[in-house]
Structure 1
C-alpha cells in the first residue's frame, strides 16, 4: 500500500491558512469534499476515454463503467459523460475498495509516474477548496473584462489539475490567484541583451535598455539574482491564466511564470517573442479578409532578455471591442453571468463559433479556441453577437491552404506552421468542440442538440465533413502528465454526439 503524498497537501495548506488567513480555515475545510469530487470527476473522465496503456479494456453498462486493468484488477465507477462539467463522481472502487480521494486512487493504481501525478492532484484539490472558500456570497455584475475573468473559480473544466499550483504557498495563492481578486504589483527588470518585436513603449524603457514586466512570484522563485536591480513597476489585475494581467488603463501584459499550472510550465519562449509581431499583423489581415464577426486582440509589443524565464507580451484588451451596453466575456466565464442559457441560446452561440472558426480553418488558420482564449461579445440582453480571440502564440497556419485561397503566406517558420490536416483539425476541434462547446453545453445531450441544430446549416467543407463523421479529438491531459518522457501532445478520441446520434 502506498502512502499518500507527504506532507498531505490538504493538511499543509490548512496549517498555512491558520496563520495567514485564519478566517478562511473553516470555509476551506467545508469545501474540501466538493473539491475532491470535482477533481475525481475530471480524473474519471480521463480514465474513461484517454488511451492509457495500462487499461486493457473498458466495459460500459447500465450500472456504470468498469476498467479492466492490465494487471488483472478492476476499477469501477459511474457512467462517464465526456462533456459533463458538474461534479458527479464522489467515489470509485478499485477491486472493491472505495476511493474518494483522487491522489490516493492514483497512488494505489501504482502506474508509472503515479507519485508525481498524485502530488499534483492533491495540490489541485487543496487549491480548489481554497479558491471556493474565498468567494464572496454575492456581488454586482462585473463591469470590466478582468472582473468577469476573476469569477472563474474552478479552473480548467476537464483537467484534473484544474487548480494545481505547485510551488505556491497559501499566502501566494491569495496574493496572486485571480479568483481571490488581488492587485498584483509587477516589477520591471532592465535588460541590456534583449529581443523586441512590435512597438515596445517608452514607459517600458530606460535609456537603451528595455524594462521587462516581471511577476513577483517569478522574481522570488525563478529569477532571484537575475531580478536584482529591478525597478518598481505597476499594479495590475490578474486574469484567469494567472500570469496575464490587466493594467488599469486597458492593455494586458502576459508575463513569464515558470511554474507548472495544469499541464505546462508558463514561460514565454524566445520563438514566440520573435514571431509575435508577424503573427499579429498576419491575423489582422486575415480578419479583414474573413468578413465574419471576429476580432483579434493585437499584439502591441513583445520583449525577451533572450530567456523564456524573462519575457513579456503587451496585448490589446478585449474590452475595446464592446459597444455601449455590450459585454465581452471569456467563454469560460459564461456560467457565471447569471444570464439564461437555453437550448436556443446554446445553438446560437454554437452557430457563431463554428461559422467563424471553420471559415478561418478553411482559409488556413486553426485557432486554439478554448474557453480562456475565446471571448464572446454579448448584447445587453445576453445574445452572442461577435467573437474575440486573444493570445496568438499557439495557433497553426497552413501555407498550402492559404495559397489555395490566394492568401499571401506570412514569413513564418517553426511549430506554428503546418499543412498536416490532422494537426490543424486537432488544434481547432480539440479546443473548440471538445473543450469550449462541450463545457458550455455541460453534457452530451445538450451538446448533441446544439450540434444537430447548427451543423446541417453550415457551408460544406472537408473540415465540416470530418467534424460530422469522426470521433472528436481532445488532448489526453492526464496521459500527458503520466508520460513526462513523451514529448509533445498526446490525444484521445471522444464520442462524437453527431455520430452516436445517427448510429
Structure 2
C-alpha cells in the first residue's frame, strides 16, 4: 500500500531547498527528536485517563499497559516528572516502535490518525529546531530574546512539544525563536474610530487619526491575506506570537495558528479588560513583599476581530537591577543551576511562597515555564519572580473578600470560587510544570519540595499539595478528544511521596 511521505521527509525536502547546509544536522537530530516525543507520549500513556487503556501493571523491567482490545503495550517504568529522552523504544505486542507517529497510527484508537500526524510533525520540527543549536551554559545571553532562544524543545511534557502545523520550513526558520531570526512586523493602519483601544497606545503606533496595529507576517499572509509592509524589527519569544522590540515593549500579536494544543487568539473581551487586569496585577504584586513583579500592559487594540489585535507589554527586564538576569523558568535548565540541590530548594521555596500566598489571597497564577520568570543575582541565586500574561489566571471573589479585597471587573472565565479549579490552575502549572521541568525527575522534585513545604503555613491548599495527587492537564487526552472544548486533567503520583 502506498504511504504518503512522512513529515520527516517533507521537512528534509523543504530544508534541502531553503537551507541545504542544515540537512545533515537535521538528519542526525531525528532519532533524538523521536525519542523526546516518544518519552512525552509514554508519560501520557502511563498516567492519563485514556479510555482505550484497560489497566496498567508494573513489570520486572518496566510497565505494561493492557488495552481494551486485548493488545499489550510495554515500555520502561514512567517517571512523570523526568525530562530527558529516556524512552527510545516501546513494544506493541511483539512489534517494537521507536517512531511515535507510527506507533499511534498502528494503535488505531479513536482520533489517532490526526494525532499521529501531529506527532510526526512535532518530531520533525523538533529535529529542525535542534539542528542549528549551539548553547554554551557559561555564556549567558545579554538580551531577553537570547534567553528565550535557548528553549529549543518547547513544552517539556507535551508530545506536540514542537508541532507547528501551517508553518513551512522556511517560515519556521524565519519566525521560530530558536533559530534566532529578526522578524519584520507589519503595521496595519486602521481608523481609530474602528478600533477598541485600552490603556495608552503610544504615538509611534499612531498616524494622526489612524491606529497602526502590529501584525505578524504569518498572520498577514495566511489569515488576513493582505500585503503588509514591514515597519518594526523584533525578536520572537518562545510563545512565537510575542516579540521583543529592542529598547521597546514586548508585542503580543494575533497569530491564528495551532501551537502545541490549541489555536490561541486575542479576544476582543480580553482587550476590553486588559487595563483592569493589568491594574489588578500591580495590586497583587504589592502584596507579595517584594518577591513578585507583574509586567504591565501598556496598551491593547482590537480592530474589529481577534484576527487583527495586539497587546503592548512591559518587558520583564525592567525589573532587573544592574548585574541581575531575568530568566524564563523554561530556560533555567540551560544554565546548569538546577544541578545543585540547594539551588533547586531555594527556587522551590521562592516560587511556592509566592504562588501559595496569592492562592490564599484568591488568585491562582498559571505559573508555567513561559509565563514565570526568575530574577537571578550575578551569582545565580533566585531573588524574585516576574510574571507576565495574566490572561489565564483564575480569581476567587470569596477568597478576596475574606482578605478585604474587592474583586475587579474581570472576564467571567477567570472567576471561580471552586478550590479544585484554583488548585489545578496553580499546582498543575507551577509544581507539575515549572518546578518539575526544572528539577528534571521525580526524586529531584521531591527533595526540592520537601525543603520548601516545611516552611509553609499549613493551609488547606498546602495540605492538598502535600497529600493529594498532583493535578496536571491530560494533554494527550485533550488532543484526542475533539468534542471537548475545555481542559481535561490527570492526577500524577504526589512528588512528596515519590520513592
Structure 2 length-normalised TM? 0.97
Please give the alpha-carbon distance, in whole angstroms, between the structure 1 residues aligned to 2:187 and 2:290.
Answer: 39
Structure 1 residues 137-177: Cα deviation after superposition (integer angstroms, max 9, x where no partner): 65842011111111111110000000001111111111000
Query: Is the deviation greater in 419-428 or in 263-272?
Result: 263-272
Local SS of the residue matching 2:317: helix
Q: Which 5+ residue runs of structure 2 have no aligned equivalent? A: none
Query: Is the deviation greater in 454-463 or in 88-97?
Result: 454-463
Aligned to 2:112: 114
Q: How far 1:189 sits from its partner (Å)?
A: 1.4
Aligned to 2:315: 317
Q: How far 1:371 sits from its partner (Å)?
A: 0.3
Q: 2:355 aligned with 1:375, yes or no?
A: no
Aligned to 1:355: 353
Aligned to 1:281: 279
Local SS of the residue matching 1:387: strand
Aligned to 2:184: 185
- How do 1:203-242 residues align onto structure 2 when only pairs under 5 Å count? 203-224=204-225, 227-228=226-227, 230-242=228-240
Q: How far 1:13 sits from its partner (Å)?
A: 0.6
Please give the alpha-carbon distance, in whole angstroms, between the structure 2 residues aligned to 1:55 and 1:3.
Answer: 30
Query: Is the deviation greater in 455-464 or in 214-223?
Result: 455-464
Q: Is the 8 A contact 2:235 2:243 kept in 1?
A: yes
Structure 1 residues 44-66: Cα deviation after superposition (integer angstroms, max 9, x where no partner): 00111111011011112331111
Please give the alpha-carbon distance, in whole angstroms, between the structure 2 residues aligned to 1:400 and 1:412.
Answer: 14
Q: Is the 8 A contact 1:331 1:372 kept in 2?
A: yes
Q: Which 5+ residue runs of structure 1 have no aligned equivalent? A: none
Q: How far 1:329 sits from its partner (Å)?
A: 0.3
Aligned to 1:197: 198
Local SS of the residue matching 1:254: strand
Aligned to 2:103: 105
Query: Is the deviation greater in 215-224 or in 452-461?
Result: 452-461
Q: How far 1:113 sits from its partner (Å)?
A: 1.2
- How do 1:290-305 residues align onto structure 2 when only pairs under 5 Å count? 290-305=288-303
Please give the alpha-carbon distance, in whole angstroms, between the structure 2 residues aligned to 1:54 and 1:3.
Answer: 28
Structure 1 residues 259-285: Cα deviation after superposition (integer angstroms, max 9, x where no partner): 111001132111211111101101111
Please give the alpha-carbon distance, in whole angstroms, between the structure 1 residues aligned to 2:175 and 2:98.
Answer: 29
Q: 2:343 aligned with 1:345, yes or no?
A: yes
Local SS of the residue matching 2:256: strand
Please give the alpha-carbon distance, in whole angstroms, between the structure 1 residues aligned to 2:464 and 2:189.
Answer: 49
Please give the alpha-carbon distance, in whole angstroms, between the structure 2 residues aligned to 1:381 and 1:340.
Answer: 13
Please give the alpha-carbon distance, in whole angstroms, between the structure 2 residues aligned to 1:350 and 1:286.
Answer: 20
Structure 1 residues 465-488: Cα deviation after superposition (integer angstroms, max 9, x where no partner): 110110000001111110011110
Q: Is the 8 A contact 2:270 2:411 kept in 1?
A: no
Q: Which of these residues, 341, 364, 367, is aligned with residue 366 of structure 1?
A: 364
Please give the alpha-carbon distance, in whole angstroms, between the structure 1 residues aligned to 2:119 and 2:401.
Answer: 45
Q: 2:49 aligned with 1:51, yes or no?
A: yes
Say what the alpha-carbon RMSD is for the aligned residues: 1.4
Structure 1 residues 270-326: Cα deviation after superposition (integer angstroms, max 9, x where no partner): 121111110110111121123240000001111111311111111000001111111
Please give the alpha-carbon distance, in whole angstroms, between the structure 1 residues aligned to 2:166 and 2:11.
Answer: 12
Q: How far 1:7 sits from its partner (Å)?
A: 2.8
Per the alignment, do residues 74 and 3 of structure 1 end up closer, same or farther by CA in structure 2, a change over 3 Å counting?
Answer: farther
Local SS of the residue matching 1:301: strand
Q: How far 1:250 sits from its partner (Å)?
A: 3.1
Please give the alpha-carbon distance, in whole angstroms, between the structure 1 residues aligned to 2:437 and 2:75.
Answer: 21
Structure 1 residues 321-372: Cα deviation after superposition (integer angstroms, max 9, x where no partner): 1111110000000011244631110000000000001000100110000000
Please give the alpha-carbon distance, in whole angstroms, between the structure 2 residues aligned to 1:63 and 1:337.
Answer: 34
Please give the alpha-carbon distance, in whole angstroms, between the structure 1 residues aligned to 2:241 and 2:44.
Answer: 26
Local SS of the residue matching 2:140: coil
Please give the alpha-carbon distance, in whole angstroms, between the structure 2 residues aligned to 1:492 and 1:137.
Answer: 34
Structure 1 residues 432-491: Cα deviation after superposition (integer angstroms, max 9, x where no partner): 001111101100010111111111211121110110110000001111110011110000
- How do 1:18-37 residues align onto structure 2 when only pairs under 5 Å count? 18-37=16-35
Local SS of the residue matching 1:11: helix
Per the alignment, do residues 249 and 137 of structure 1 end up closer, same or farther by CA in structure 2, a change over 3 Å counting?
Answer: closer
Please give the alpha-carbon distance, in whole angstroms, between the structure 2 residues aligned to 1:484 and 1:152.
Answer: 29
